[in-house]
Structure 1
């Protein structure tokens, strides 16, 4: 041990910074910050946890500030001191919040993130064929088929949209599944799929109240995914996990492939939709500060509960945390839990 070299104190700070930026696991950054006081100071002063989060989720570039809330939901009291001490406290706060966020995005329970339906761009027979039916995994409810249907169109290029409210203001979304509807009661068993799908995520915009498109500000738009004309739940995996800020998700159904025999119009019909990801509330929430720019405040609450979820096995998705007892103690000391 006597021959070991502290590379952070021996190398040029820029080189040490570049080396630590190669770490892409939040657990590794937390462990680095627990090595010694000098290493902890280096990690915090350079905002390495925030930089890791920004690499993981570019949507965080619109975070104007972070706020820590106590267990009653109130802001922690501001400390009084020199400008240097206040600046250091702000850096420590950012370190804590972004370290939790990075870890939570990988370890919180994963599941269906749809909280409720908002609406469809059109509906053929309301409410029998409403968007609400897409939340039901069964093809039949009683003696009635369960599906959403658009209105018919002569032009097969007319798109449709299905808009949902997620279970949390802030979620990490990884994949979306859509099942086209097979009309088993029509000749030839036609399947009313779209040609492709595209995903948008964003937040409500209360300053605008005209067209449907203007009711939301979209902060992420996925590539187009081709859809097969098959009666199955089709999975569309996003190129990278996306941090949905604002809790609104829209599925664009682009292009129509199936005419209905009775009226010779093109329709799109969907029987089931799933949105898979990790809800980050109640540990995290957001407050939109400027609806035009999308700047928001990131809030972190219930740190003790968050800590328990991050340091022990996650039964919901079978992920085992590999931190040992000593590392957990160092983590608690680092974050003053």
Structure 2
């Protein structure tokens, strides 16, 4: 029984939306033509992506690019045909996107530094030092230091560019700096941290105006005054669209003895997540803040293409095993048929002999 034909649409959708793996949705779409039509027409892969990453609600449209970077144009046809082509394109792009976000390796996403809100001694105490996991090299220490402030409530920011326009960020790692060359070995940590993600503004802006658009602002996390790597895990993975991440360092704890001012110092920063480059990119549409989600170099149009190699091999092996089992059943049936035929022939011979005897 095909439950899609017996249940109302709401109940069928509720059942299929329990699937949280894009591979399962693709397998569902391979069951039959009617199931494939149902999955695509209801945009189940898109809805799965929206549940995983609410930031995708800002997608204006999706585009597939060929190997030369040009858009794949749909053929001319009726309005229904064009609408169906758009739904199929969304199904492919979102299915690939969901699978890539789940199967990619988590790694460091920082490409380069953009700048700090202040720097005490430039370039010796530059933000660039925060990309090196060492806190010292021969002859000097490696860390970023803010300017001193008499007010411990003055915040600081560190801004970084990520490797990809679209990154799935899971956690940020920060290590406060311990001044091993000062009396008492003070640790210049912040009281708490907060993270912003977004993209640069499309055009140059007037001085004093914020040059980035922030599409995500995290909760505030408490930082401890300890010289160690401190991991700040986001409540849920966040899609950074635009490739810019800013760390807000809120509140100062340590006062420097020689001048009586409060400082914040950081020795190392790492942003952990999944890079969706080069498969996906984004084109920001100003001033709406929406963006075009682009999928480059579609590898294959086969519906099982988004499965990993291990999953594909497993399916292939399973099919081959089932074919071998089926062949064995066929052979057994053929052998039984031959044995039955032999018995039948022997019975026919006995009947013929009996008839000859009677006659």
User: What is the TM-score of this pair, normalised by structure 1?
Assistant: 0.90
Q: CA deviation at 1:108?
A: 1.3
Corresponding residue SS for 1:85: helix
Give the CA deviation at 1:213.
Answer: 5.9
Kindly provide the CA deviation profile for residues 72-92 of structure 1, in whole angstroms up to 9, marking residues without a partner as x. Answer: 111112211111011000000
CA contact (8 A) 2:74 2:85 kept: no
Alignment of 1:75-94 (within 5 A): 75-94=71-90
5+ residue gaps, structure 2, are 320-359
- Alignment-derived partner of residue 19 in structure 2: 23
Of the three residues 280, 291, 295, the one matched with 2:290 is 295
Matched, 1:245 2:235: no
Cα deviation, residue 208, structure 1? 5.0
The CA RMSD over aligned residues, in Å, is 2.1
Q: Is the 8 A contact 1:108 1:309 kept in 2?
A: no
* Residues 275-314 of structure 1 mapped to structure 2, 5 A cutoff: 275-290=271-286, 292-304=287-299, 310-312=306-308
Query: Would the aligned equivalents of 2:176 and 2:228 in 1 still touch at CA under 8 Å?
Result: yes
Task: Name the CA distance, whole Å, in 1 between partners of 2:154 and 2:18.
Answer: 46
Aligned counterparts of 1:62 and 1:251: Cα–Cα separation in 2: 23
- 1:171-182 matches, within 5 Å, as 171-182=167-178
C-alpha displacement of 1:303: 2.1
Deviation at 1:321, TM superposition (A): 4.5
Higher helix content, 1 or 2: 2
Residue correspondence of structure 1 range 22-61 to structure 2 within 5 A? 22-61=18-57
- Cα deviation, 1:204-246, whole Å, max 9, x if unaligned, reads 0133523566100000000001001000010000000001000
- The 8 Å contact of residues 168 and 239 in structure 2, kept in 1 or not, is answered as yes
Q: Distance in 1 between matches of 2:156 and 2:220?
A: 14
Provide the C-alpha distance between the structure 2 equivalents of 1:280 and 1:306, rounded to a whole number of angstroms: 20
* Higher mean C-alpha displacement, 28-37 vs 187-196: 28-37
Query: Secondary structure, in 3 states, of the residue corresponding to 1:273?
Result: strand
User: Do 1:117 and 1:131's aligned partners in 2 also have CA atoms closer than 8 Å?
Assistant: yes
Larger Rg: 2
Contact 1:32 1:39 in 2 (8 A): yes
The answer (yes or no) to whether the contact 1:67–1:297 under 8 Å persists in 2 is yes
Closer, same or farther in 2 for the Cα pair 1:77/1:34, shift >3 Å?
A: same
- Checking the alignment, whether the CA contact within 8 Å between 1:203 and 1:217 is kept in structure 2 is yes
Task: Give the paired residue count.
Answer: 318
Structure 1, unaligned stretches of length 5 or more?
A: 314-319, 330-337
SS of the aligned residue for 1:51 comes to helix
> Are 1:114 and 2:104 matched, yes or no?
no
2:181 counterpart (157, 166, 185): 185
Give the Cα separation in 1 of the matches to 2:318 and 2:186.
Answer: 57
Cα deviation for residue 328 of structure 1 reads 11
